[in-house]
Structure 1
Amino acid sequence: MDVFSRTFLPAAAEAGVAIPTVSRHMPILRRCVESDDATVLVSRCLRPEHAMSGDFLLLLTYRRLVVTQETWVLRRLRLHLNANLRHLSNVTWNIDLRRHAVDLAATAVDGVRERFRVRVAEPDHVWRVESLLRHVFRERAAQPGGDRPVAAAVGA
């Protein structure tokens, strides 16, 4: 079993993503991520400015951010975002403890600002998601060649 497979399933289970959802999205995710790339975060999410656009699944690894979309009516899957972390700029996140959510935003290489809301079941999980984002994006910014600005906003 490769690194991606070994780390993806536990991360999906930790986030409470159902196995049927994981199974539907896995072929798309598998094409986007290298087999030696470890999964950091898997979560269902939504796009706050496009509330009726369907369900999204967010995958964050140490190298990539991948978001897939499933339409509500026909349940069709499509790749929404597949970005190398080096190509993302102005990555920010905001904690909303009242909604048990973390709002993540990043500007993709094509200049489009992408926004996602990651909702979690427990208030403590908000801090877990925030620590994972901080770990991946701040660590990348601190590495040589990690030249992308990263900011985090924390609010309640």
Structure 2
Amino acid sequence: MDVFSRTFLPAAAEAGVAIPTVSRHLPVFRRCVEPDDTTVLVTRCANPDRPFAGDFILLLTPRRLVVTHETRMLRRLRLHLNAHLRHLSDVTWSPDSRQTALEVAATAIDGVRERFRVRVPEPDRVWHFDALFKQVFHERPKALTI
């Protein structure tokens, strides 16, 4: 069993994503990440710019940010965002423990600003999700400048 397979389901369970949902999205995620990628976070999210668009699932690894979209009516899956972290700029996130949510935004290489709102089941988990984003985005090795 590869690293992605070993870490994906526990990360989804930690965020409270149902197994049927995870099972539907897993084939799309598997095509986007390497087998040796460790799953940091798998969670449901919403797109504030498209509030009635359907469900989004966010996958964060130390190398990639992948977001899938499932339509409400026909439950069709499509890849919404698949970006290597080095191709994202101006990545921000702001935890809000009062509303038990985390706002995440990033600009993709094509210049499109993506925003997502992650609902967190418990207020103390907001800070855990915040720590996961810090781990991935602040502890990346800096590029050498010569």
- Establish whether TM, by shorter chain, passes 0.5: yes
1:84 counterpart = 2:84: yes
Query: How far apart, CA to CA, are the structure 1 residues paired with 2:41 and 2:132?
Result: 7
How far residue 2 of structure 1 moved from its aligned partner, in angstroms, is 0.2
Change (3 A) 1:146 1:125: farther
1:1-156 correspondence runs (5 A): 1-140=1-140, 143-145=141-143
Task: Give TM-score scaled by structure 2 length.
Answer: 0.97
| Runs of 5+ unmatched residues, structure 1 | 148-156
Give every structure 1 segment of 4 or more consecutive aligned residues whose post-TM-superposition deviation is greater than 2 Å: none
Query: How far apart, CA to CA, are the structure 2 residues paired with 1:81 and 1:22?
Result: 17
Between the two proteins, the alignment pairs up a number of residues equal to: 145
Three-state SS of the structure 1 residue aligned to 2:139 is helix
Change (3 A) 1:46 1:144: same
Change (3 A) 1:146 1:42: farther
How far residue 123 of structure 1 moved from its aligned partner, in angstroms, is 0.4
Three-state SS of the structure 1 residue aligned to 2:40 is strand
Query: How far apart, CA to CA, are the structure 1 residues paired with 2:144 and 2:20?
Result: 36
Percent of pairs with identical residues: 70
How far residue 49 of structure 1 moved from its aligned partner, in angstroms, is 1.6
